[in-house]
Amino acid sequence: MDVKKSSLLIPIVGVAALASCSGKAQQVTKPLNIVYIMTDDHTRQMMSCYDDRHISTPNLDRIANNGVRFTNAYVANSISAPSRACLLTGKHSHKNGKIDNIASFDGTQQTVQQLLREAGYQTAMVGKWHLDSEPTNFDHWIILPGQGHYYQPDFITSEGRKKFKGYATNLITDFGLDWLENGRDKDKPFCLFLHHKAAHRNWMADTTHLKDYEDKIFELPPNFYDNYFGRQAASIQEMSIASDHDMDVVSDLKMLRPGVQTRLSNSYINGEYARLDSAQKTAWDAHYQPIIDEFYSSNLQGRELAEWKYQRYMRDYAKTIKSLDENVGRVLDYLEKNGMMENTIIIYTSDQGFYMGEHGWFDKRFMYEESFSTPLVMWLPKQFKKRGDITQLVQNIDFAPTMLEIAGAKIPSDMQGVSLLPLLKTEKAPANWRKSLYYHYYEYPGEHAVRRHYGVKTERYKLIHFYDDIDEWELFDLQTDPMEMNNMYGETGYEKITNELRAELKRLQEQYDDLIREKFPL
């Protein structure tokens, strides 16, 4: 295997120290453990260390406050399964083969857990896998089938499938902590992948949190009523909160009523709602029935209906994050109680960002900031000098090489990401750090009708090409237009930056060997 050698192996893993003046060698430093926590569709707007307008996430903030917060972390393909494949392989979607949510992931290919095991690490995958294949090269795994369920979820193991009583976020944490306590060899380093279902659609809260946020009036985004002028692809998506077709009042907002049929009502009645046990259903109905009665009696229309849906969406989403934050706290408390914090690096992120009403939307997929970006915070042991914000451009293809360098393992030369450890070791970032990011989204035709597109982002600018059934370009100056409302492509005065970005886009497509460049040469 052609590999590139870790340049930070000695400070992180440790070697037999030089003999002291007395001639005695110091004890070898233990390898660092890795806890990688990834959620689904959690966005920076709903994490208080990034944005405190909406909710408080004290336990997630604990991670950032004891380490670093990345302010420019992004994904390579803003959709669940491809994002997970990018994590495991350190490669863009076109290289790992998982370009959308449809195709199965080829688990025989080189993955980070395989390389960690070869380096002597124990590996465990707990929670949402969502790769339409069986996990490979893990010492232990217990996963949700597909998207999984919030209540009484099924889990799959190598020994078969079983339904568990309880709420998914709690159960996933239970299983992860049980493996830490009882399932691993405590004399060996480990990497635990703890992957949550939350906060995926349809945002079903734990019954213990049903009343939370009910008095909260969430701030309406300034571009909630975006008219998509000059942005054709944005105008023909199907992820509008206002649309009854896109955001379903029964399935998404729980406004279940006899005789009311919507596009997704049967999937809710026979799916998530049917999984509630008798006590949960009693609590659920007691909470939602007054809201249901008021909703149908009010007969809201137009903007009043759109803004009512927005408030309900925000409240339900916020409740799932509250459970998530509490369970992250359980993990932190366990590690602290067992004296593991100074030998463990904790990484928290999501598979991508999400729209919380920006542009009038929910969901993800577009290369616009809200879904292209992702939260990324890390708890760092004391030997790492960096604290506070890291502003450099990073991407989820960087996670695998980062884990490998933490483990002291060699990073394969065919991994397209780069290790983030140089950003963690010193206050001064490397002078040769990347200045741009590449993105490519493929799933069209598909749910939400977001057209295929690829693009390049620099610190200030973003250039996007929507292709296939349309041929549209968009250019944004993120300094003057952070909400990406004004497409400057083709406008007078932007010729130079357009040409520079097209050249950079071509360079990235060549660097990452994306053959789309042959069909749409730049």
The residue whose two tokens read 């292709």 is 467
Encoded tokens for 150:
């919030």
Q: What is the pLDDT of residue 6?
A: 39
The residue whose two tokens read 């009036």 is 217
Q: What is the pLDDT of residue 30?
A: 82
Task: Confirm if 19 and 27 have CB atoms less than 8 A apart.
Answer: no
Amino acid at 241: I
Cα separation of 462 and 452, whole Å?
16
Whether pTM > 0.85 for this model: the answer is yes
Q: What CATH number was assigned to the domain covering residues 438-519? A: 3.30.1120.10
Task: Give residue-wise pLDDT tens across range 139-149.
Answer: 999 999 999 99
Query: Whose CA is closest to 198, among 250, 128, 134?
Result: 128
Cα separation of 353 and 357, whole Å?
13
In the chain, domain spans: 3-17+31-202+339-424, 221-314, 438-519
Divide the 522 residues of the chain into consecutive groups of 10 and give the mean pLDDT of each group: 38 33 47 97 98 97 98 98 98 98 93 98 98 94 97 95 98 98 97 98 98 98 98 98 98 97 97 97 98 98 98 98 98 98 97 98 98 98 93 98 97 98 86 96 97 98 97 98 98 98 98 96 91
Helix axes 80-89, 399-406, angle to 10 degrees: 30
Query: Whose CA is closest to 402, among 90, 48, 44?
Result: 90
Task: Give residue-wise pLDDT tens across range 10-50.
Answer: 333 333 332 333 333 344 478 999 999 999 999 999 999 99
Q: What is the pLDDT of residue 16?
A: 31
Q: 329 burial class (0-12, 13-18, 19+ CB within 10 angstroms)?
A: middle
Strand ranges (E), 394-471: 394-395, 411-412, 436-441, 453-458, 461-466
Which element (helix H / strand E) includes 516? helix 516-519
Q: CATH class for domain 3-17+31-202+339-424?
A: alpha beta
The residue whose two tokens read 């399932």 is 183
In the three-class reduction of DSSP (H, G, I as helix; E, B as strand; rest coil), residue 423 is classed as helix
Residue 12's contacts (CB-CB under 8 Å, 6 or more residues apart) are 32, 383, 405, 406, 408, 421
Angle at 362 between CA 357 and CA 366, to 5 degrees: 105
Same fold, 3-17+31-202+339-424 and 438-519: no
